[in-house]
Structure 1
Amino acid sequence: MKTALGPIQYCWPKAEIEAFYQKVAETDIPLVYLGETVCSRRREVKFSDYLALAQMLKAAGKQVVLSTLTLIEAQSEFTALKTQVENGEFLIEANDMGAVQVAKSLGLPFICGPSVNNYNAATLKKLASWGMQRFVMPLELSKDWLEHVISELNPNPQSKTVEVEVFGHGYMSLAHSARCFTARNRGLSKDGCKTVCIEYPKGVLVQTQESQSLLRLNGIQTQSASLIDLRNQQDKMLAMGVDYFRVSPASMASIDIAANLGDLQLHLSQDSCNGYWFNQAGLNQHAT
């Protein structure tokens, strides 16, 4: 099983993003996803900048995948999506069915991201017939579900038809909305947001009235307050036939975690969860 570094889900300054990927280039992480997946108003890093970063990482020996927006709301965003899919060099991670359709119409292979609702083997087989090479398991599903689906998709492990990736570490994306909750939190409209999400490098933590951490607001995206940490499940994943373990960046420390997945004591969090993997409420921490 190999390591994948997912796309940065937050609005970081351009210089920090460039420094992040320069450090990634110096590691042995084999697969890197790049791109804005949350909001097209985040213009610190443009598509041309991501292409330059992709070229740099490719030269460093990485496989690079360009990740698309999860929620397409305007014609301009769809036009930008087509440009991304038609980049001519790099595979894309389709994070909505619009991206799947564009790739299919062009006869291009693609990866399905975790936001695409792949809930059964029949859907996955159909997507594979359209060019899907790998899918990232939707976050709310369990290891029991995945084991069953893998056995249906790839009955012969020696001749796999579809690769499998699991989101194994990071803050989980739970929902996307047409409204920007970060802007509303600051008393701003979505159109006049001033890109205030750049001030929150891990989103805005939301707590209950009992001061229990509940959610993170990240622009139009709602995330888990706790980070999922499935590093101690790697042996199980490998035995099941999982091909990639994804680390979702939340800070520079995520690079160390992705580069040293075998070190289970590295950057342990007191506020972690793994409930979905064990078919429980997502915020639960199941004892293993």
Structure 2
Amino acid sequence: MKLSLGPVLFFWERDTLMQFYAEMAEQPLDIIYLGETVCSKRRSLSLDDWLGLARDMQQQSKAQVVVSGLTLVEAASELSSLKRMCNNGEFLVEANDMAAVHFLSEQKIPFVGGPALNIYNGHTLAEFIAAGMMRWSPPVECSANIISSALQQLDDLGVTRPEVEVFAYGHLPLAYSARCFTARSENRPKDDCELCCIKYEEGIPLLSQEGQALFTINGIQTMSAEVNNLLADFPTLQNAGVDIARLSPRAQGMNDVIAAWDNVRRGEPAPLAVQGCNGYWHGRPGMVSVEEVGLC
């Protein structure tokens, strides 16, 4: 199984990003995604900077480099930048919004379908493949059964399967909104946020009135409170037809995460349980660990 590094979902300083990717270039990764997917106001790196970094990563690493587009396009300037990214002529593009899908399809440019696209069955999957999608990252709430069923439907339709890439590690991106929750938490309007999310390198924990961790706030993005971790489910990932495990960047300890996944894919036994949640993969509430609550 291949390992991919997803795009950084949080807002980090430019120097932090550059140092992070310098370390990632030395890791045993097969695919590296670069780009801003959450908020266009996060400009630690411009589009030209991201493309320049992609060229550097391609020289320094053996991994395939993919550039990722915004998940929520709200302004003409964002659409213009998205089109320029899609038409970069050098790197495969991850489409996270239908605007990108439409443009790439019109230009007959192959693309990756990101997890924000609503693809849940083989018939929809076939439509996206016809539009040029060559790799599918299912929505993060998809279970092993949903993915297997979609791929079986695709076989029944006589359509060649794309590569399948599952969001296997990291805070799950659950929803997007036109509102910025981080700005609201500081009583700031979205248009005058002062980029306050730069202060929260892994978002803001959101607790219930009883003190239970429910979500993580990350700008316009609502994420899971717990880190999704499917390392203990490695055998079922393979059985479900998954080709690539996506590891979402975190501020600390990413080298250890990659090493653990690399060891298992090279033959080391998968752990019986890991810290984090994996409920969605088993068709259960996403925030639970099925091993802990005995739902396996």
TM-score by length of 1: 0.94
Q: Which residue of 1 aligns with 2:246?
A: 246
Contact 1:153/1:162 (<8 A) preserved: no
1:229 Cα shift?
0.5
State the AA in 2 paired with 1:103. L
The question of 1:49 aligning with 2:49 is answered yes
Structure 1 residue 61 displacement after superposition: 1.6
Name the CA distance, whole Å, in 1 between partners of 2:226 and 2:286: 9
**Number of the residue aligned with 2:77:** 76
SS of equivalent residue, structure 1 residue 166: strand
Q: Does 1:276 align with 2:280?
A: yes
Tell me, in whole angstroms, the C-alpha distance in 2 between the residues paired with 1:16 and 1:242. Answer: 31
8 Å Cα contact 1:20/1:252 also seen in 2: no
Unaligned runs of 5+ in 1: none
Cα distance change on mapping 1:82 and 1:225 into 2, 3 Å: same
Q: Give the equivalent residue in structure 2 for 1:105.
A: 106
Shift of the alpha carbon at 1:209? 1.0
Partners of 2:129 and 2:209 lie apart in 1 by 46
**Superimposed CA distance per residue, residues 205-253 of structure 1 (whole angstroms, 9 cap, x where no aligned partner):** 1101111001111001010101111011112211232110000111242
- Rounded Cα–Cα distance in structure 1 between residues aligned with 2:255 and 2:17: 12
AA matched with 2:290: H
**Residue 131 of structure 1: aligned partner:** 132
Which residue does 1:184 correspond to in 2? 184
Q: Distance in 2 between matches of 1:82 and 1:123?
A: 24
Q: Tell me, what secondary structure is at the counterpart of 1:10?
A: coil
**2:289 corresponding residue in structure 1:** 285
- For 1:208, the equivalent position in structure 2 comes to 208
Tell me how far apart the structure 2 counterparts of residues 38 and 96 of structure 1 sit (CA, whole Å): 11
Aligned counterparts of 2:207 and 2:32: Cα–Cα separation in 1 = 32
Secondary structure of 2:190's aligned partner: coil
1:154 Cα deviation after fit: 4.3
Name the structure 2 match of 1:62: 63
What does residue 170 of structure 1 align with? 170
Which amino acid is 2:58 matched to? K
Alpha-carbon contact 2:217-2:223 (below 8 Å) kept: yes
Deviations 1:67-109 (A, max 9, x none): 1100000000000000100001001000011110010011100
C-alpha separation between the residues in 1 aligned to 2:2 and 2:154?
20
Aligned to 1:114: 115
User: In the aligned structure 2, how far is the partner of 1:105 from the partner of 1:127?
Assistant: 12
Deviations 1:138-164 (A, max 9, x none): 1111111111112232469xx953110
- Aligned match of 2:267: none
Q: In structure 2, how many angstroms separate the alpha carbons of the residues matched to 1:68 and 1:105? A: 17
Rounded Cα–Cα distance in structure 2 between residues aligned with 1:190 and 1:216: 18
Query: CA–CA distance in 2 between the matches of 1:36 and 1:27?
Result: 21
Contact map agreement 1:114 1:139 (CA 8 A) in 2: yes
Deviation, structure 1 residue 254: 2.1
Shift of 1:13: 0.4
* Structure 2 Cα separation of the partners of residues 137 and 163 of structure 1: 11
What is the CA distance between 1:49 and its match in structure 2? 1.3
Give deviations 1:25-64, integer Å, cap 9, x for gaps: 1112110011100000001111111112111111122101
TM-score between both structures, scaled by the size of structure 2: 0.92
**Structure 2: distance between partners of 1:224 and 1:213:** 9
| C-alpha distance in 2 between matches for 1:252 and 1:107 | 39
Cα 1:235/1:155, change in 2 over 3 Å = farther
Contact 2:278 2:286 in 1 (8 A): yes
Partners in 2 of 1:133 and 1:218 — Cα distance? 29
Q: Secondary structure at the match of 1:260?
A: helix
- Corresponding position of 2:37: 37
The aligned counterpart of 2:94 is: 93
- Counterpart residue number, 1:197: 197
**Residue 226 (structure 1) aligns with:** 226
